[in-house]
Structures are given as structure tokens and as C-alpha cells.
Amino acid sequence: MPSSAVQSFTDLYEYQSAIRATDVAVLATGCGEFRSKLIRMDFHQLWMRSGEASLPYIMRGAWLKSRVVVSFLIGQDPTPYHHNGLELMQGAILVNPLGAEFYRRSTGTRCGSMSLSVDDLAATGLAVVGKELTAPDVTQMIRPPPHLMRRLLVLYETAETLAKDVPDLIAHSEIARALEQELMRAMVHCLAEGASLGTDHSRNHRVPVMRRFEQFLGENRDLPLYMTDICAAIGVSERTLRLHCAERIGVSPHRYLWLRRMHQVQRALTIADPADVTVTEVAMNHGFWELGRFSVAYRRLFGQSPSATLKQTAQSNPSGPFKQRLMHQKSDPEPRTVDFITRGVPAWG
């Protein structure tokens, strides 16, 4: 049965858990309060989702292996975002491989996505333009003819408006079927008649390096890590790793490690019992020995002192937020690996 949902978030963990991809992790890269909204529309065959955030962010994840996902910018004068190093501009569409790993860097602009199963995309392509459409081997960026792209965006925003204002109409089978068919036709025409603007084929060699980098960090998250050890373990030079990180995540490996460690402290304080631990213990357990500098950096990063985080957690949720998060994660039908979630991080650099 068709359905829709409009969700608002102020917590990055909840936001990333609502995204339909696997191994999703989100890192905000701007200072301020994080706010985001997701609009989901599920028709009979077509899935749609739009999202926007108040802060710039880096997202890491992998697409589902069962569906072909296309994505594009929506709204008035959207700013571009980077997907695996490709800059997506207004009027263009990204077509993503099945199950492909990705990094996305966004300034918080609104973006939309549509997806069909492999069989549904092939059948719709055959019916609409006389040829089967398949998932690409690498991420492709195409620019459809302007009139076709405008048609797609008008239909997309119509569906989005219905989901926000009159969701009962989306749930009505015949209305949903009619709108879905028009959306699928518009999507297929854009894909079939669009001009290629490039692929990330030249960047595919970066994927194994970044995968080994993330795996090493995940396997050693409780240990102090140094660049020489990391590079030796994953088999690349520091210069190579720096180039890969600059393209994919927009920050240096050193800064990425620092952000992860700061986040680990923040999370440890969030789940801690103030009767059992102190800020000093948590900071030193994560390799921060200069406590004065640590406290200043923490306040700059998260907008409050580490002691305030510890105290606030105990006051707001005596039963412990960690238990609630574990329960939430266990109930998720598609478990996701969460490596970093933080807010108020300074801009990339």
C-alpha cells in the first residue's frame, strides 16, 4: 500500500538511522544547532525521498543492492554537493550503481532521490522508450534536456507537497498509481535522453583505500592511532591517503581522526553515569592529556563544556540514552554501522 512520512530531526543518530542505505554515518561540519527533515514517499514500485539539513555535512554509506537510485538537487537556487568527488549541479542527475559505497559532502542543500528495482527499471524503460535501462557499473552524471528535467522536478515537488499537506491522497491507491506512473515516465525519459557529463570511473581506485582506512579505524576505535601506523596497516603512503581523503571527505586524515576521537569522548560522556566516571577519566582514556586545551576544543566543537554534557545527560534521561539507542538499533530491519555522529564541527579544511 502506498504511504508517506514527514520526519524532522535534531539528533544526527536518529537522522542517519532513517536513511534507506546501509552502513550510513553522518558528520556535521558546521557550527550551530543541527536540524533536518526527511520526506519519504513509497508508491507501488517507486520509492522517493527528499532531505535537507541546516548544517553542512559529510555522509558515508552504501546504496541498497536491490534498487537503482537516482539523485538530484531540488528547490530554488540549490548549492551543489559532491558525491565521490563528482560535483552535482542543478539540472543534472546522478545514477548510482547497485550497492556502491559513497561519500557525500553537502552544504545542507535540499536533494531528492528516486529508486526502482532492477526489474522495474528495465520493464519501464522498455515500455516508455523501447529499451531496457540497467544499473551503471560506476556512478554516472547526466544532464537531461531542460524541458524533461523541469517536468520531473514539477512532478517530484507535487508528490512532496501531497506528502506534506494531504498524505491521505498518497495512501489512495488510484491517485498514487496515476502519479507514480507519470513520475516513472519522466524519470525514464530523463535517463534515456540525457547527455553524459562524466563518471567517477577514474576515482574507483580510491574505494579500496578508503574502505581499508575505515575498516582499520573501526577495528581500532578504542586505541590511540598515529598516521604512520595507519598508513603501514592499509598499505599506502601518507601523501596518498591525504589525497584520497581530500577528495572523498574534504578533510585531512589527521583532522578526521581528531574529529572521531572528539566524538568518541562526546558519546562516552553521553552514555556515562556521572557517579561512576569523570570528564578527566574519559578524556585521558581517549588520548587527550592536555585537559585545558581539550576542554576549550570540546566547547568550540559541541557548543558546551564536557562537564555540561555529562551533567545534562544524567538530568535529561536517568535511565540512560545508550540503552534506548541500542533498543532502537536492534529494532531496525536493516542494521547500520555507526562510526561517527557529531554536531557543531568546524568547516572542512
Q: 183-241: per-residue pLDDT in tens?
A: 999 999 999 999 988 776 445 566 788 889 988 988 887 677 888 999 999 999 999 99
The pLDDT of 166-188, averaged and rounded, is 89
Domain spanning 3-201: which superfamily? Jelly Rolls (2.60.120.10)
Alpha carbons 154 and 242: distance in angstroms, whole number: 41
* Model confidence at 328: pLDDT above 60: no
Note whether 3-201 and 206-338 share their fold: no
Hey, where are the domains in the chain?
3-201, 206-338
pLDDT band at 327 (very low <50, low <70, confident <90, very high): very low
Q: Which of 10-19, 66-75, 266-275, 315-324 has the lowest mean pLDDT?
A: 315-324
pTM of the model: 0.76
pLDDT band at 317 (very low <50, low <70, confident <90, very high): low
| Cα 253–chain centre separation | 19
Q: 39-96: per-residue pLDDT in tens?
A: 999 999 999 999 888 888 888 889 899 999 999 999 887 888 888 878 888 999 999 9
For residue 279, give Cα distances in angstroms to 283, 289, 341: 6, 12, 20
Alpha carbons 288 and 178: distance in angstroms, whole number: 59
Read off the amino acid at residue 275. A
Residue 319: partners with Cβ closer than 8 Å, 6 or more residues away:
none
> So what's the pLDDT on residue 287?
79
Of 33-47, 120-134, 279-293, 321-335, which one has max mean pLDDT?
120-134
Mean pLDDT (the chain, rounded): 83
Q: Are 49 and 110 in contact (CB under 8 A)?
A: no
Domain spanning 206-338: which superfamily? Homeodomain-like (1.10.10.60)
Q: Are 91 and 141 in contact (CB under 8 A)?
A: no
Q: Angle 291-302/253-271 helices, nearest 10 degrees?
A: 90
In the chain, which residue ranges form alpha helices assigned H by DSSP?
A: 12-17, 118-129, 146-165, 167-171, 173-193, 206-219, 227-234, 238-248, 253-271, 279-285, 291-302, 306-316, 321-331
